[in-house]
Amino acid sequence: MPYSMDNKVALITGAGSGIGRAVSLRYCEAGGKVALFGRTEAKLETLATELGDDKSLVIPGRHEDPDDARRAVEAVRKRWGRADLLFNNAGTYHPARIADTPDEAWSEALASNLTGPFMMTRAALPLLRENSGGVIVNNASTLGLRPVPGSAAYCVAKAGLVMLSKACAVEEAGNGVRVLAICPGVVDTPIHRGRGGDPDDQDDAFLKAAGEMHPLGRVGTTDEVASLVLFLASAESSWTTGAVITVDGGISLA
């Protein structure tokens, strides 16, 4: 039986593509409404058209900007008067070894993958508390659990996001807000498409090679990750908080 999100509202960052888009679609299919937050307004508008104006709200902005974060939450409050899920999904990845990491790349990794979720969480907590059952799901990464050469800035930021999730879970349990972190392995998303050289190559060389590194023999799909997010946002996981859950084809065990 599908998880019911009837009359529930989600605020999703990085909603225009990849995992954020998949979660937005699934949340609406389950009966919920979604606020689509992200940098690329055109992608958000395209998704909103697909979902319908009655089920969606487009909010362009940058999640690491505290003013944009507050504005997003207030837009949700004004439109629907509640928020049941904050999915901190937006993030960036630029590979580089420590000795070759420019100052701006380090700063961007922390801003996008850690400061942004913090700003959104801080802004959204008052509204989530009002429903005595709000949920925050942070999209971390298996690279937040183990170091990989050439990804130090990303690994550090995602490890910080894992700890932010745990700290927030402890602080907010008494307010009825559950907080969880998911750690995907390599998923077939635009952030990975083209790393083999051609962004339009549907048999991308990077994704093929990455799939072979996962014990299950393939990369994940956005819908597989969305299924986990829907479960964590549902009443079926009402006794789960502070958990760090891998959805990674077994790569964290390899």
Instruction: Give every CB contact of residue 205 below 8 A, 6+ residues apart in sequence.
Output: 196, 197
Q: Quick one: which of 57, 177, 56, 64 has its CA closest to 113?
A: 64
Report d(CA 6, CA 53) in Å as an integer.
Answer: 16
Rounded CA-CA distance 246/7 in Å is 29
Residue closest to 88 by CA, chosen among 192, 2, 158? 158
Q: Residue 182 forms beta bridges with which residues?
A: 139, 245
Q: In terms of Cα–Cα distance, which of 146, 141, 163, 154 is closest to 106?
A: 154
Percent helix, strand, coil in the chain (nearest 5)?
50, 15, 35
CB atoms within 10 A of CB 222: 21
Distance (Å, rounded) from C-alpha 115 to C-alpha 161?
A: 9
Which one from 3, 27, 93, 154 is the annotated catalytic residue? 154
27 is annotated as an active-site residue = no
Measured between alpha carbons, how far apart are the two ends of the chain, in Å?
A: 33
Would you please indicate which residues are annotated as catalytic (active-site) residues? Answer: 154
